Structure 1
Amino acid sequence: MKKIIELKNASVVVNNGFDEVKTILDDVSLTIYEQDFLTILGGNGAGKSTLFNVIAGTLMLTSGSIAIMGEDVTHLSAQKRAAHLSRVFQDPKMGTAPRMTVAENLLIAKFRGQKRGLVSRQLQEYKGEFQELLGKIGNGLDKHLDTPAGLLSGGQRQALSLLMATVKRPELLLLDEHTAALDPKTSQSLMQLTDNFVQTDQLTALMITHQMEDALKYGNRLLVMKDGKIVKDLNKDEKAQLSIADYYRIFD
């Protein structure tokens, strides 16, 4: 099975400014295989965001190594790793350019990693394709092709961020609590859309969630983190046998 991400003995140690050294990622080894959909649970300070930042390259390891598609990227910047990764953040404002239209945002995403200016002729050329893509989402985004992204609702903007992250198929999709800022109904709708994208396009994805129900329902692997360590790595059959009460007991 093809390895997409491989962390070996990955640790991050920081100084909090008061001469106190703290380990926020503690000797983590993890392999993510092609078409894995991993959900991550853990309390505040468990190391979930640190793990994401280490993979994305926005935080460097103190020790250990990380490989993407078999290539050692331990010392490569986030910009160098961006060709392989896409990320959807918790804040709907993070993934889109607010003054650009929905179509212009999608055009940028389509040519991510390529040196190419925004030319209006190109935009017209791809509008039909973008219209069709937006129609699959089913939340009215297809009526807003020429609307600035900043005028969209939070749910629409996050759906656009998800579409932008997947329009140019990434090796790994990082979902950083991407439904947390939305109301429950919109959150559920976006989660179903996410799962549809992952399954249909056979994506490899890693998702942080605080929703126990989502961790039970989605993905083929569940990671539980505590004190900078992965304390559980459950496959689909193992997690299917757990109830929400069992999940809470893991954190005791």
Structure 2
Amino acid sequence: MQAIIELKNASVIVENGSEKKTILDDVSLKIFPLDFITIVGGNGAGKSTLFNVISGNLSLTTGEILILGKNMTKKSPQVRSKFISRVFQDPKMGTAPRMTVEENLSIAKLRGKKRTLKITSSKELQERFLTKAKAIGNGLDQRLNSPTGTLSGGQRQVLSLLMATLQKPELLLLDEHTAALDPKTSKTIMSLTDDVIKTEKITSLMITHQMDDALKFGNRLLVMKNGKIVRDLNSEEKTKMKLEDFYRIFE
């Protein structure tokens, strides 16, 4: 089976004055179709660096990255956006606050395609947006004509998720996308995320600091430390783990 994304001996070294620091250390990783991989690790473990390397926002010092078997190591984030979408931790990122919900969704429909200055939305698209928004059930369907900046944090994060998956990506990056939300909203968003991933059959990679979520969701679990992947657990291995076993990995 061909990997959606493959990293080969990927390293990122940054210079701070006279010092050099390795923030991604010889990482090799294959992400296969329908993988839902959760990633955990302490601060500075390399989680965000991994995401930035995959999305093209950070260049590799050494190594390669392949998307659907093609070498994309030197390709820009714009080129990679045809294959990859991302939901950020901050609900304000990834949306245009002065544009309406519907206008933001119309832009998302053009991900990876040539865009014009004019934002248009056909009746068919409007009905599709409304159907998806109603299915979410958090009142977003009543706010399609509202400026995105007036939404609650939860509604805005739901919108970000909807935008990221409206045009099915080859890979969805979930960058601690529930971390800025209250516990109740976070639980709702995670349930919605899991449903969208399963229903739309989307290959996904999710960073989380919630150990319960890391064990509950997905079919693989990566543990990162000092820029390396130190554990890659499959579903069976995850099922056997308890939280105390999980914390022991970090000791």
Change (3 A) 1:200 1:125: closer
After the TM superposition, list the runs of 4 or more consecutive aligned residues in structure 1 that deviate by more than 6 angstroms. Answer: none
Shift of residue 77, structure 1, vs aligned partner:
1.1
Structure 1 length as normaliser, TM-score?
Answer: 0.97
Pairwise mapping of residues 213-224 of structure 1 onto structure 2 (< 5 A)? 213-224=212-223
1:12 equivalent in structure 2 = 12
For the residue of structure 2 that corresponds to 1:180, the secondary structure is coil
Identity %: 65
Shift of residue 79, structure 1, vs aligned partner:
1.1
Q: How far apart are the structure 2 equivalents of 1:123 and 1:159?
A: 22
For the residue of structure 1 that corresponds to 2:10, the secondary structure is strand
**Structure 1 unpaired stretches of 5+:** none
Cα distance per residue 1:191-215 (max 9 Å; x no partner): 0000000000110000000000000
Q: How far apart are the structure 2 equivalents of 1:214 and 1:51?
A: 20
1:102 equivalent in structure 2 = 101
Q: How far apart are the structure 2 equivalents of 1:120 and 1:235?
A: 43
Shift of residue 136, structure 1, vs aligned partner:
1.1
Shift of residue 112, structure 1, vs aligned partner:
1.7
Q: How far apart are the structure 2 equivalents of 1:125 and 1:221?
A: 37
1:174 equivalent in structure 2 = 173
For the residue of structure 2 that corresponds to 1:46, the secondary structure is coil
2:69 equivalent in structure 1 = 70
Aligned length: 251
Change (3 A) 1:204 1:120: closer
Pairwise mapping of residues 29-108 of structure 1 onto structure 2 (< 5 A)? 29-108=28-107
Q: How far apart are the structure 2 equivalents of 1:126 and 1:118?
A: 18
CA contact (8 A) 1:103 1:123 kept: no
Q: How far apart are the structure 1 equivalents of 2:125 and 2:203?
A: 26
Q: Which amino acid aligns with 1:4?
A: I
Shift of residue 119, structure 1, vs aligned partner:
4.8
Shift of residue 114, structure 1, vs aligned partner:
2.2
Structure 2 length as normaliser, TM-score?
Answer: 0.97
Cα distance per residue 1:79-113 (max 9 Å; x no partner): 11111000000000001110111111111101222
Q: How far apart are the structure 1 equivalents of 2:9 and 2:245?
A: 28
**Structure 2 unpaired stretches of 5+:** none
CA contact (8 A) 2:9 2:27 kept: yes
Q: Which amino acid aligns with 1:117?
A: T
CA RMSD of aligned residues (A): 1.1
Q: How far apart are the structure 2 equivalents of 1:62 and 1:119?
A: 39
Q: How far apart are the structure 2 equivalents of 1:51 and 1:59?
A: 9
For the residue of structure 2 that corresponds to 1:98, the secondary structure is coil
Shift of residue 232, structure 1, vs aligned partner:
0.2
CA contact (8 A) 2:103 2:119 kept: no
Higher mean C-alpha deviation, range 97-106 or range 111-120: 111-120
CA contact (8 A) 1:108 1:118 kept: no
Q: Which amino acid aligns with 1:167?
A: L
Q: Which amino acid aligns with 1:176?
A: D
